[in-house]
Amino acid sequence: MKDVFKAVRISDSVYWVGAIDWAIRDFHGYATTRGTTYNAYIVYADKITLIDTVKKPFMEEFLSRIRSVVEPEKIDYIISNHAELDHSGALPEIIKQVKPEKVFASNTGAEILGQHFHWDVDVERVKTGDTIDLGNMHLQILETRMLHWPESMFSYLVEEKILFSQDAFGMHLATGKRFTDEVEPGIVRYESAKYFANILMPYSRLITRLIDQVRKMNLDIRITAHTHGPIWRGDFGDIITWYSEWAQQKFHPKAVLVYDTMWGSTARMADAVADGITETGVEAKQMPLSGCHRSDVATQILEAEALVVGSPTLNNMLFPTVADVMSYLKGLKPRGLVAGAFSSYGWSGESLKQITEYFEAMKLEIAGEVGTKYVPNEAALLECSKLGKIIGKKVLEGVDEKV
């Protein structure tokens, strides 16, 4: 496979040697509708260094790209910035082939790698402030605990001003282009937002702190070499501004309506709620779960102020698609949303209570709920519209606090 896949030079001494996963459509519950890449890098320093690896099935493509730059056995160091298996899956095999002088990871990284691979590799543990000496170049270490795993860390190549940021600032996007400025900007923004919403939203407060920390370090960053999708070069201010706004939940006058329906009644109620919201000037983004994936719902919520949920009752429970999305959203911990619920049911009507329990657990501000038996009449639809207006007004009241 030596001559099949080629490395891509991204700076004087750094090569991308990752793999492109064009076919993946489900990434542990996240709909990767545009595929993804697993980015790994060779730093061609005095000590030739490999930064991260790829998902195990992509070992051949990965090795082929490495061989186009250097014989694998000449690699001196391997650095694991993130132990999740999409970046460490090929690590045991590559260590076997390379026999590196040293493997580096954070303290927790070394433990997690041991728990993944049950191996006897002696991992050298590094921490924030440490510098790995590559001879003519140097890598500075910055631990980024819980972004998004407890062991995660960045490494910064001082001489070429490259930040290896593992998952942070990445996106699930399979493309033959290696830089974001070669891809349609709207796609880059949407996939970056989707990545933030589905992977990083629970750690928003840590993101704000990290951005402050990186700013204080005054690092001159020329390339941000993350681990998924095209990478950032030159002025990558856009992604820092976006991350900062998403983490701080910049105000957007939008409500997301998530619902499913059995015989069309809950869907009619959704239309009426949406109409009430729209009357106040707030955007009502309807997301019927028959056609919307949980990870796209999360993406819309990233730039919204209200979450309105509708579900029929099926066998005393939430409709399965609604239960799925509520469980998922609860884990992502969106903050500061106005919430409302609506439901058409036949006899017992437990779904409203179950939606409200989710809202309470998520600490959302509950604006109200509307329930009706079977097909909603005009009075029930007017109640829905009224609920929509209340939600819209509450959203607008939040402007002063959030702008």
Task: Show which residues are catalytic.
Answer: 28, 82, 84, 86, 148, 167, 195, 228
**CB 165 to ligand FEO: min, Å:** 11
Stretch that binds ligand FEO, among 82-90, 117-125, 205-213, 244-252 (CB under 6 A): 82-90
CA 196 – CA 332 distance, rounded (Å): 10
**CB 191 to ligand FEO: min, Å:** 14
Among 228, 233, 268, 293, binds ligand FEO (CB under 6 A): 228
3-state DSSP helix/strand/coil % of the chain, to nearest 5: 40, 25, 35
Nearest residue (CB) to ligand FEO, 82 versus 285:
82
**CB 167 to ligand FEO: min, Å:** 4
Place of tokens 């790995």: 132
Q: Tell me how many helices (H) and strands (E) the chain has.
A: 13, 24
Q: Which residue type does 190 have?
A: Y
* 87 touching ligand FEO, by CB under 6 A: yes
1 sits in which H/E element: none
* 294 touching ligand FEO, by CB under 6 A: no
For ligand FEO, the nearest residue by Cβ is: 84
Residue ranges in 20-79 that form contacts with ligand FEO under rule CB under 6 A = none
Nearest residue (CB) to ligand FEO, 86 versus 369:
86
Q: Compute how many residues bind ligand FEO; rule: CB under 6 A.
A: 8
**CB 82 to ligand FEO: min, Å:** 6
Among 143, 167, 260, 305, binds ligand FEO (CB under 6 A): 167
DSSP string over 43-109: E-SSS-EEE----GGGHHHHHHHHHTTS-GGG--EEE-S--SHHHHTTHHHHHHHH--SEEEEEHHH
Q: What SS3 class is residue 224?
A: strand
Nearest residue (CB) to ligand FEO, 85 versus 211:
85
* 172 touching ligand FEO, by CB under 6 A: no
Structure tokens belonging to residue 57? 């099935």
- Give the CB-side neighbour count of residue 180, counting CA atoms within 13 A: 27
* 296 touching ligand FEO, by CB under 6 A: no
CA 323 – CA 314 distance, rounded (Å): 11
CA 222 – CA 226 distance, rounded (Å): 13
Give yes or no for a contact between 394 and 285, defined as CB atoms under 8 angstroms apart. no
Stretch that binds ligand FEO, among 42-50, 80-88, 133-141, 388-396 (CB under 6 A): 80-88
Nearest residue (CB) to ligand FEO, 11 versus 39:
39
Q: Which residue type does 52 have?
A: D
* 151 touching ligand FEO, by CB under 6 A: no
- Give the CB-side neighbour count of residue 350, counting CA atoms within 13 A: 8
**CB 75 to ligand FEO: min, Å:** 22
* 227 touching ligand FEO, by CB under 6 A: yes
Q: Which residues contact ligand FEO by CB under 6 A?
A: 82, 84, 86-87, 148, 167, 227-228
